[in-house]
Amino acid sequence: MKKILVMLLLCVNAHAGEYFVTPTETGGEIVLTNRKTTNCGDSLMFMYVVMSDQSVIYGCWAYINDKIHVRYDDGNRRVYDIKGWTRKTD
């Protein structure tokens, strides 16, 4: 399963409507997209977090060394394990 998720994360550009989600500890959801944006530079992709109060935090992400690395727009950085993410499509 881990290898399948890794391959999907590395190949997310294959399907524009694919994205990955995981719940937050406070009832929200982290969403990793495969969309590029000028805010993220060449090697990172767009992501966002929908908080339990429906507010949104934006950022960028990359898959590096079996971990998901996130840089939030407010400057915070986090590293997440790949376990617990679900692939979805539009």
Taking the domains of the chain in order of start, what are their residue ranges? 2-89
pLDDT at position 14: 46
Q: What is the mean pLDDT of each run of 10 residues along the chain (90 residues)?
A: 52 66 95 91 93 96 96 95 91
Query: How much is the pTM?
Result: 0.79
CATH number of the 2-89 domain: 2.40.128
Provide the 3-class DSSP secondary structure of residue 7: helix
Other C-beta atoms lying within 10 Å of the C-beta of residue 19: 21
Contact in structure between 17 and 89 (CB atoms under 8 Å): yes
Token pair in block for residue 36: 């590029």
